[in-house]
A and B are shown apart, each in its own frame.
Chain A
Amino acid sequence: MVAMNACEVDPIIKEELPANDIRFSVPQGWPQPVYDYSTNPLTTEGFVLGRKLFYDTRLSRNNTISCGSCHQQFAAFSHLDHAVSHGIDGLLGTRNAPGLYNLNWHPSFMWDGGVNHLEVQPLAPIDNPVEMDEDINNVVVKLQNDADYRRLFREAFGTETITTPLILKAMAQFQGMLVSANSKYDRYMRGETSLSASELNGLNLFQQKCNSCHTAPLFSNFQYMNNGLDSVFADAGRARITLLAADSGTFKVPSLRNVGLTRQYMHDGRFNTLEQVLDHYSSGVVNSSTISAGVVGGIPMTAQEKQDIIAFLKTLSDYSFINDRRFADPFAP
């Protein structure tokens, strides 16, 4: 009965994917995740509920903006071609919406690391006056008044009394399931495919020049670094949270998985292309008091080397991830 009811939510997705596809597993060779569902048992019902919440505009004050508005699946859950996103009433934020994938491995969230746990992450955009600008208490009321949500919460958590922690648990179930580990690079590492000469050369160059911060297999060391964008910091970055001068102008190192799908680039989305990004590292680095030692003076790369590195970076695009129907918008026609 429970399963039949759940099928009414989105018959296409349910039909295609048996329940046992909602499983979380650690890809071969990856470290153990930070978030492992030990306090939030992953269920199909919790995932389905979390997915609906992720795509529901009722999380915003005037019911216009959902998480999916600025985190689009086809762009690996980033906001394609947007340096910064439009939030509620067309208001602009100050930072680029990052792609969402492999979140269970992140020790912190947001460019400044201000959010310390996957479950409480959604509160930040909901609260933010230029993003969703809604009081979570109003979200609870809106959902409580919706019979379909009451059913979904009962199926997921055994209660029709909707609360903030249950909303957050469900969203963590969905967002944690966004695992991207099936790019061409991954298939190469598993011995299932080969890389071209250019891609292979790019991989070797990447390991020499980039991997110390964008560390495989997650392609980030999840530290806060200043990569030499500015000499004067319009955005204090990590220092906004820590208030430490040493953290001024540092930002969380982004994962480069799916980087070919998630333009634009940098915390403020200032670069449109990967070529611009590599040009920055080779010849655009600006000195400042907190600059990361690894980029001082730039990272030398020839034009050919840049081409090869970009060819490699594009092997990190995970097309099965961005086409996975389990992660698609259930409100879409």
Chain B
Amino acid sequence: MKTIKYFFLLALTASLVFTSCKKDPDEEPAPITPAATTGSLNLHFENMVDTNALVLNSQLYTNANGDTFNVTKFDYYISNIKLTKAGVVKYTESNSYHLLKASDLTTLDIALSNVPFDTYDGIEFMIGVDSARNVSGAQTGALDPANGMFWSWSSGYIMLKMEGTSPQSTSMGGALTFHVGGFSGANNTLKTVSSAFNAETAIVSSSITPEIHFAVDLSEMFKNPTTTNFATTNMIHMPGAAAKTIADNYADMFSVEHIHN
């Protein structure tokens, strides 16, 4: 009897294990497409402060308010990347969540795959993580809470994290802590970047993998429309009006510099 019970247990266990092995739909490989209809396109992000390349720690910068500061951390999410042609979305990246970290140059290049051969003239993406993924439990990859971009006590992603110091800051050690997030309601910080390439195009073909270069200007966090005074605003670590003000500022920090075809 006991043996029979164990066989039953074994069979059931095995079936349960197989069930559990089913992967999240997001993790399934992209459908195989016939050869020679899709290619790749690369995005390169260059972090800047005004017109200078961002150098962590050692370099001093000045914000629009005239306050001096350095940057020790600059991490942000980009999600839901789409390529457009004449205003029509022609390509949507699947499971499109990327965490870009100034401290890790490898994260500043994003390779889009399975891009249909075409000539694209615009791009769209979100700065931050869409609201759906903020309310869907334990996520993987770039969205893994272990990446330090998830608030445990008030569930939701930190869309952008900038840390540094400023002699004007009244926080301990002159700290600057800008953890910007909030995905719903009046203080939603999600921003959608929609950028036409102007006269340029990105041509995806069997022989061309274009590369789009973006400038990401950190100084935009602190100006236009609201100039940030580090003496009064130096620590944001939760969703709210202060976080939204910074997000409203940085909504225009991405610009297409040029495209290699």
Interface residues of A, Cβ cutoff 8 Å to B: 2-4, 6, 18-20, 39-41, 43-46, 110, 114-120, 123-124, 126-128, 136-137, 140, 155-158, 163-166, 168-169, 172, 240-241, 243
Find out whether the CB atom of B155 lies under 8 angstroms from the CB atom of A120. Answer: yes
A115–B241 Cα distance when bound, in Å, is 20
Q: Which residues of B contact A126 (CB under 8 A)?
A: 152
Find out whether the CB atom of A43 lies under 8 angstroms from the CB atom of B140. Answer: no
Find out whether the CB atom of A165 lies under 8 angstroms from the CB atom of B138. Answer: yes
Nearest-Cβ distance from residue B68 to partner chain A, whole angstroms: 31
> Given known contacts A43-B19, A117-B136, A243-B240, is B153 in contact with A128 (CB within 8 Å)?
yes
> Given known contacts A39-B24, A41-B20, A137-B146, is B137 in contact with A119 (CB within 8 Å)?
yes
Find out whether the CB atom of A20 lies under 8 angstroms from the CB atom of B155. Answer: no
Binds A, one of B8-16, B106-114, B207-215, B252-260: B8-16
A250–B155 Cα distance when bound, in Å, is 19
Q: Which residues of A contact B105 (CB under 8 A)?
A: none
Find out whether the CB atom of B146 lies under 8 angstroms from the CB atom of A164. Answer: yes
Q: Which residues of A contact B137 (CB under 8 A)?
A: 39-40, 117-120, 168, 172
Interface residues on B, range: 35 or more
A40–B136 Cα distance when bound, in Å, is 11
Find out whether the CB atom of B144 lies under 8 angstroms from the CB atom of A164. Answer: yes
Nearest-Cβ distance from residue B149 to partner chain A, whole angstroms: 12
Q: Which residues of B contact A45 (CB under 8 A)?
A: 13, 16-17, 20
Q: Which residues of B contact A128 (CB under 8 A)?
A: 152-153
A283–B13 Cα distance when bound, in Å, is 56
* B36 interface residue (CB < 8 Å to A): no
A137–B5 Cα distance when bound, in Å, is 40
A40–B24 Cα distance when bound, in Å, is 9
A164–B142 Cα distance when bound, in Å, is 12
Determine which of B12, B135, B239 lies in contact with A116 in the assembled complex, contact meaning CB atoms within 8 Å. Answer: B135
* B52 interface residue (CB < 8 Å to A): no
Chain B 123-179 interface residues, beta-carbon cutoff 8 Å to A: 134-140, 144-146, 150, 152-156
A140–B144 Cα distance when bound, in Å, is 12
Find out whether the CB atom of A140 lies under 8 angstroms from the CB atom of B17. Answer: no
* B199 interface residue (CB < 8 Å to A): no
